[in-house]
């Protein structure tokens, strides 16, 4: 049991290191007033690799934060999602998520004459007319991936899906501007069930000023103890974007099965990974469940969480 709990703590702290990498990307980045978010570090360099990033990616709709599945830093934009792959070569560390593949649902196909189209790759789906012009002008397969459908009608709009994007044809717009990329980043953020608070704007001035709420998690070194001994509680504090909060003050209220309660102020604030720990001694006159109520405070913000352990003979 102790080994199992230790493994949980290691995973949690490793995730904290991922949060710290995301934090490093955020501080000192470019602030986008339209949505109230920063882009920084390798994500910012990747964003500006193209001459028209607003057209291809849109504005950021979150800060960078660790993916709940992989733990790797990601950041959502209106039309895309960036992923950071630290293990990849330097020119491939930032990659676009294949949102077209994730979100494509077949629509009503449209026939086009072969002489107005090109198959990409040879033998693949056809790209035609304005779609082909936009594709070639803006990086082609390297930027969008191969097409995964022909042109189709969806919701009365002519569209074509690619591995990493979806083109929409808007005949009401001026010539040369009639192809618009769909907001796949916004769509996937919703479909995947990401925390809506991740879209909350942050203040222009830095990540610290952008902390608007706290979340805490607590782990105990022992799930079951004898009637007396020592117990260690590990606490992780993060903000609304799942980034670590350093210098948070933590207090503990330990309630024994008898109802007797003791309070402690953890002398060491949370570190750069949002982690702190405290060991306390206890003695219980009864068997049962001991409750540990954790309160974390940062500036004028506060959050609580509860954990427990069982006292046995």
List the chain domain ranges.
2-12+211-311, 28-199
Task: Count Cβ atoms within 10 A of the Cβ of residue 17 and give its class: 0-12 exposed, 13-18 middle, 19 or more buried.
Answer: middle
pLDDT digits (tens, 9 = 90+) for 72-87: 999 999 999 999 998 9
pLDDT digits (tens, 9 = 90+) for 121-134: 998 999 999 999 99
pLDDT digits (tens, 9 = 90+) for 185-219: 999 999 999 999 999 888 665 444 457 778 999 99
Residue-level pLDDT at 33: 86
Residue-level pLDDT at 202: 81
Average pLDDT over residues 67-71: 89
Average pLDDT over residues 163-183: 94
pLDDT band at 243 (very low <50, low <70, confident <90, very high): confident
Lowest mean pLDDT: which of 139-148, 179-188, 295-304? 295-304
pLDDT digits (tens, 9 = 90+) for 13-56: 444 444 343 333 344 478 898 898 999 989 999 999 999 999 99
Average pLDDT over residues 2-13: 43
Question: SS in 3 state form for 3-43?
Answer: HHHHHHHHHHHHHHHHHHHHHHHHCCCEEECCCCEEECHHH
Q: Hey, what CATH topology would domain 2-12+211-311 get?
A: Immunoglobulin-like (2.60.40)
Round to whole Å and give the CA distance between 182 and 200.
22
């Amino acid at each position: 049991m102790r080994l199992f709990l230790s493994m949980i703590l290691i995973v949690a702290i490793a995730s904290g290191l991922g949060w710290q990498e995301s934090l490093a990307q955020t501080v000192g980045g470019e602030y986008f007033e339209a949505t109230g978010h920063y882009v920084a570090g390798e994500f910012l360099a990747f964003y500006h690799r193209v001459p028209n990033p607003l057209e291809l990616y849109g504005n950021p709709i979150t800060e960078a934060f660790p993916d709940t599945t992989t733990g790797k830093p990601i950041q959502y934009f209106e039309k895309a999602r960036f992923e950071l792959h630290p293990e990849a070569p330097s020119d491939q560390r930032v990659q676009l998520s294949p949102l077209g593949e994730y979100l494509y649902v077949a629509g009503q196909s449209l026939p086009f004459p072969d002489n107005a189209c090109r198959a990409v790759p040879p033998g693949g789906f056809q790209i035609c007319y304005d779609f082909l012009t936009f594709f070639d002008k803006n990086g082609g397969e390297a930027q969008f991936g191969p097409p995964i459908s022909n042109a189709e009608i969806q919701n009365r709009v002519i569209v074509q899906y690619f591995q990493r994007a979806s083109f929409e044809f808007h005949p009401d717009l001026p010539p040369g501007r009639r192809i618009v990329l769909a907001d796949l980043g916004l769509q996937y953020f919703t479909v995947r069930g990401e925390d809506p608070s991740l879209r909350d704007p942050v203040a222009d001035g830095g990540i610290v000023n952008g902390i608007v709420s706290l979340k805490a998690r607590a782990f105990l070194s022992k799930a079951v103890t004898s009637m007396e001994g020592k117990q260690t509680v590990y606490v992780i504090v993060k903000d609304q974007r799942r980034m670590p909060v350093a210098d948070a003050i933590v207090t503990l209220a330990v309630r024994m099965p008898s109802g007797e309660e003791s309070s402690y102020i953890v002398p060491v604030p949370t570190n750069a990974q949002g982690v702190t720990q405290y060991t306390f001694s206890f003695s219980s006159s009864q068997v049962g469940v001991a409750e540990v109520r954790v309160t974390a405070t940062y500036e004028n913000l506060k959050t609580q969480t509860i954990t427990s352990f069982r006292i046995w003979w």
